[in-house]
Amino acid sequence: MSLLELRKLNKHFGGLHVTNAVDLTLEPGEIHCLIGPNGAGKSTLFRLILGEHHPGSGEIFFAGENITALKSFARIHRGLSVKFQVPGVFKGLSVRQNLEIALQSRHRGAELEAEISRLLGFLGLESEQAQMAGNLSHGQKQWLEIGMAISLRPRLLLLDEPTAGMSPEETHMTGEMVQHLNADGMTVLAIEHDMAFVRQVAQRVTVLHLGQVFAQGSIDEIVADERVAAIYLGQAHA
């Protein structure tokens, strides 16, 4: 059984057809990258999957269950988790408290403390734990939010541009982290512009263009596809 299945998802914003009959299937255990030019509808697709937006038509299945009508928090309980494009950390709270809020529904007491420390170490944010999350660098905020997202031990992790604002080294580390999580059984769907990252982690790639699935395949197939190159070049000229 596939883990996530989108069937003919349509979403309009006024006259704008942002996702146009999108079909997408994720197999359990894969790392899948979603790429496409700016404004292709990638982030909107995430918001549909998460229940922040509701599709005009179409259905969303998660682990065989139709979740199209579920509230966002209920989808999270089913095993979804997300890092947004714009980091959504709790800016006025300390780094440590950010993680505590993410972890407290699964752990209590001393176990919670230990889990927070473990995660701080994993994210390399130990020395920043007392800082307000709003004072972190952009890259650190990204890491923190990824940390919060994986705290939930999701079956499917959604990452919207996880490496934006990171140096090439940091990007590579993020890639290794994603592979590490995947090895533990987590399925990952990542939106990414950074092709080095996509090359590093993607087992399958879907190209979204003007709200439609434009191409799908392995990274090598996608890179070799002249039509895909054309839409990116077209955007560069625009």
Ligand X SMILES: Nc1ncnc2c1ncn2[C@@H]1O[C@H](COP(=O)(O)OP(=O)(O)OP(=O)(O)O)[C@@H](O)[C@H]1O
- Cα-based angle 30, 36, 37 (whole degrees, multiple of 5): 160
Site for ligand X in 83-112 (CB under 6 A): 85
Beta strands in the chain (DSSP E): 4-13, 16-26, 31-35, 57-62, 65-66, 80-83, 156-160, 187-191, 204-209, 212-217
213, two tokens: 């699935």
Which CB, 85 or 129, lies closer to Mg ion?
85
Residues 6 or more apart whose CB falls under 8 angstroms from that of 135 comprise none
> Which DSSP string corresponds to 14-38?
TTEEEEEEEEEEE-TT-EEEEE-ST
CB 44 to ligand X: min, Å? 3
Q: What one-character DSSP code corresponds to residue 203?
A: S
Q: Is residue 235 a contact point for ligand X (CB under 6 A)?
A: no
* Region near ligand X per CB under 6 A, out of 12-20, 98-106, 126-134, 175-183: 12-20
CB 80 to another protein: min, Å? 9
Give the up-direction half-sphere exposure of residue 98: CA atoms within 13 A in the CB hemisphere: 32
Which CB, 38 or 127, lies closer to ligand X?
38
* Region near ligand X per CB under 6 A, out of 35-43, 139-147, 178-186, 230-238: 35-43
Q: What one-character DSSP code corresponds to residue 126?
A: G
Q: Is residue 43 a contact point for ligand X (CB under 6 A)?
A: yes
Q: Is residue 212 a contact point for ligand X (CB under 6 A)?
A: no
Binding-site partner at residue 152 among Mg ion, ligand X, another protein, none, CB < 5 to 8 Å by type: another protein
Note the residues at the interface with another protein (CB under 8 A): 50, 52, 71-73, 76-77, 81-82, 84, 88-94, 97, 100-102, 104-105, 109, 145, 148-149, 151-152
Spatial CA neighbour of 18 closest among 210, 192, 208 = 210
Are 81 and 154 in contact by the 8 Å Cβ rule? The answer is yes
Q: Is residue 127 a contact point for ligand X (CB under 6 A)?
A: no
Which CB, 91 or 118, lies closer to another protein?
91
3-state secondary structure of 154: coil
One-letter amino acid at 120 equals L
Which residue in the set 1, 38, 109, 169 belongs to the binding site for ligand X (CB under 6 A)? 38
Binding-site partner at residue 72 among Mg ion, ligand X, another protein, none, CB < 5 to 8 Å by type: another protein
Q: Is residue 40 a contact point for ligand X (CB under 6 A)?
A: yes
Q: Is residue 41 a contact point for ligand X (CB under 6 A)?
A: yes
Q: Residue 77 — φ and ψ, nearest 5°?
A: -65, -30
Which CB, 43 or 81, lies closer to Mg ion?
43
Interface with ligand X (CB under 6 A): 13, 16, 18, 36, 38-44, 85
